[in-house]
Amino acid sequence: MKNDYRARNHPAYWAFIVHRASGLLLALFLPFHFWALGQALQGAPALDGFLHWTQQPLVKIGEVGLVILLAAHMAGGVRLLMLEFLAWRDWQKSLLAVAAGLSLAAGLAFALNVV
């Protein structure tokens, strides 16, 4: 029982959880993304109405969250590729920290640009 707790408290376990959760949340976002792209097929008034709706503050916050999810998923995937193909297995905790830092930096940079 004690070893099970240690395994779940390891940084690599949390990186696994973040990578899987971000992928799942991004997959749930895809139908809305395709619907938004489809507004362009409905004509300029429909697209203009949608773009006007996206100027709401909650939508802007959602965009920042989406960018953080994308960055977290990408950084986690790159970290996994580096662990798989490069001999940096001793640096795993450092790679986790870099992946988390890059994800937050991308989200904050986007937030500063949006607001």
pTM: 0.74
Amino acid at position 38, single letter: G
Q: Rounded to the nearest 5°, which phi and psi values hold at 56?
A: -70, 145
CB within 8 Å of 60: residues ≥ 6 apart: 54, 114, 115
Domains of the chain as residue ranges with CATH: 2-114 (1.20.1300.10)
> What does the pLDDT look like over 6-58, one tens digit per residue?
667 777 788 889 899 999 999 999 999 999 999 889 989 988 999 999 999 99
